[in-house]
Structure 1
Amino acid sequence: MSSTISANVDGRTATKLKMVASMENRSVSNAVSSAITVFVGLPKGVRDFLLELNAQDDQDTIVRLGREMMAAAARVRLEKATMDLASEHRFGGSDDASSEIDMMEEATAFSRAAAQRT
């Protein structure tokens, strides 16, 4: 069940929101819904820190943190793809080292393919 929620934002935030929604071919409502879903799912300390950075207009730290989060997300995707491949037992044989390399290469290919879809 969905609920309608109303929020007031300043003009600068509204402009950024409309730009993001347009660049991602999404409605403003969909972008707001996604933002709220992500925000409420974060631990309170992370939410507070992000709001603090925004209030301080600390764009350098925001950009740096975004890059670090993307790197962490890529690592997690790679680990998940590797575990998924390992669970399929598609790579086997007597040479365990080459099997691990094969799995890593396949996981990297899956991760790249997934990143291109997003």
Structure 2
Amino acid sequence: MASTISANVDGDTASKLKRVASLENRSVSNAVSSAITVFIGLPKGVRDFLLELNAEDDQESINKLGREMMAAAARVRLEKATRDLASEHVLGKADQGASEIDLLEEATALSRAAAGRK
């Protein structure tokens, strides 16, 4: 069951929100809902630090933190994809605790197979 929540933001924040929603082909309501979901899912210390950086208008630190978060997200996605592939047993020897040489041979075989399909 959905609940309606209202919030007051300054004009600059409202403009940024509308721009982000437009760029992502989302409604403002959907963008706000997603932002709230993400925000409340973060540990309090992280939320407080993000609000502190925003209050200080420390865009350099915000951008640096964003890049580091994207790198961490990419690592997590890669680890998840690797686990998913291993659980499907599509990697041959790699599924059974293969050595680095075995993994390289498997990668070479997969690359050759992919090149042959082109």
Above 0.5 in TM-score? yes
What letter corresponds to residue 73 of structure 1 in structure 2? A
Change (3 A) 1:52 1:85: same
Paired residue for 1:64? 64
Paired residue for 2:85? 85
Are the aligned partners of 2:93 and 2:103 in contact in 1 as well (CA < 8 Å)?
A: no
Q: Which runs of 4+ in 1 moved over 2 A?
A: 93-103
Aligned residues: 104
What is the rounded CA distance, in whole Å, between the counterparts of 1:72 and 1:11 in structure 2? 33
In the alignment, structure 1 residue 22 sits paired with structure 2 residue 22:
yes
Paired residue for 1:110? none
What is the CA distance between 1:59 and its match in structure 2? 0.2
Q: Map Cα deviations across residues 22-46 of structure 1 (whole Å, 9 max, x no partner).
A: 0000000000000000000000000
Give the percent of matched residue pairs that are identical in Structure 1 and Structure 2: 75
Gaps of 5+ in 2: 111-118
Q: Map Cα deviations across residues 25-77 of structure 1 (whole Å, 9 max, x no partner).
A: 00000000000000000000000000000000000000000000000000000
Whichever of the two has the greater Rg, that structure is 2
Paired residue for 1:41? 41
RMSD of equivalent CA atoms: 2.1
TM superposition score normalised by structure 1: 0.81
Change (3 A) 1:92 1:45: same
Gaps of 5+ in 1: 107-118
What is the rounded CA distance, in whole Å, between the counterparts of 1:98 and 1:19 in structure 2? 50
Of residues 91-100 and 47-56 in structure 1, the stretch that sits farther from structure 2 once superposed is: 91-100
What letter corresponds to residue 44 of structure 1 in structure 2? K
Where in structure 2 are the equivalents of 1:76-115 lying within 5 Å? 76-93=76-93, 96=98, 97=100, 100-101=103-104, 102=106
